[in-house]
Amino acid sequence: MSGSFSSRAVGTAPRVLVVDGSKVVRQLIARVLKGELPDSDVVGAGSGAEAKELMEGGAFDFITIALRLPDMDGLELARHVRESAAQAYVPIVVVSGDVDDRLHNRTLGEHVTDYFDKSLGFQALAEFIRGYVKPPESAQGEVLYVEDSRVVALATRRILEKHGLTVHHVVSVEDALVLLDKAKEASRVGADIVLTDVSLKGELTGGDLLERIRRDYGYGKGRLPVLVMTGDENPANQAALLRAGANDLVEKPIEEKLLMTKLLFQLRVSQHLRERGDAA
């Protein structure tokens, strides 16, 4: 999957293509996008054919595609985009209102940068897109980071701290559980987000940590988001992690912009839910 950007995205107003068969949905996405990115140029397409025609007229910096279009499958359109030299590296996000589809279509997503669950709302989608085309220079939050490779941990920690995040790095799930236990005794969660590798050298894996956080501690996705890093491209294993309670996955090797977009987005959603009192 590609998370790179076209060269024209730097220093120019971002062009966003919204492909959805519903005119109402296109207008809603365009409206909230203009609110989040006032200088953006948002263009809508109601079909795959119309999207192809628009792309022939100029490059885009970001494309959202519905899974079901009137004339073709959304993933077929994504494949067409990747075959275009001008658009080969543009971020493509499939917007789906069906979580089951989102899980299932990871098996078909080699041309897609990411998936977005429409049930989170169009405002959240706008913030998500802003994270790609205009990522914040700094952020606030505490990251519990579990990684047993010192080399990987050093590089990733530098990325996180560069963006203003506070990082508590541990090398095993056992160490992470000690921190979470101490925090719970003090009536705290212990972190704003957990970033963990799925494969660790200790007895417990990142999947075990995820299970403990959701089952034993009772922290829901809004209360303590968990982002799982994995080099396993098996879609069944990826889907299992998401069903077990992972907020999202980051494929290894880590690509900085994709990691930070996903991590900062989950931080923002969690903060929003806590402010509304909806974080379970």
At 188, is the secondary structure helix, strand, or coil?
Answer: coil
Domain boundaries, the chain: 7-133, 142-276
CA 190/CA 26 separation, integer angstroms = 40
User: What pLDDT, on the 0 to 100 scale, is given for residue 248?
Assistant: 85
Which of 230, 219, 218 has its CA nearest to residue 259?
A: 230
pTM of this prediction exceeds 0.75: no
Q: What is the dihedral of CA 13, 14, 19, 22, to 10 degrees?
A: -50
Q: Which pairs from 271-277 meet CB under 8 Å and 24+ separation?
A: 271/192, 272/124, 273/222, 274/222, 274/223
Calculate mean pLDDT across residues 11-28.
87
> On the CB side of 273, how many CA atoms lie within 13 Å of its CA?
19
Question: Of residues 166 and 6, which shows the higher confidence score?
Answer: 166
**CATH code for residues 142-276:** 3.40.50.2300
Which long-range CB contacts under 8 A does 79-82 form with residues at least 24 apart? 79/111, 80/48, 80/52, 81/55, 81/111, 82/2, 82/111
Give the tens place of pLDDT for each residue, 145-158: 999 999 999 999 99
Tokens of 278: 């909806």
Of 85-94, 165-174, 225-234, the one with minimum mean pLDDT is: 85-94
* Matching CATH number, 7-133, of 3.40.309.10, 3.50.50.60, 3.40.30.10, 3.40.50.2300: 3.40.50.2300
Q: Are 64 and 35 in contact (CB under 8 A)?
A: no
Name the β-bridge partners of 196.
146, 228
Q: How confident is the model at residue 139, as a pLDDT?
A: 75
SS3 228: strand
Give the pairing type, strands 92-96 and 166-170.
Answer: unpaired
Structure tokens at 273: 């839910």
Q: Is the peptide bond before 253 cis (omega within 30 degrees of 0)?
A: yes
256-273: per-residue pLDDT in tens? 888 888 898 888 778 766
The pLDDT score that the predictor gives to residue 165 is 95
Q: Considering only residues 103 and 258, tell me which one the structure prediction assigns the higher pLDDT.
A: 258
End-to-end CA distance of the chain: 32
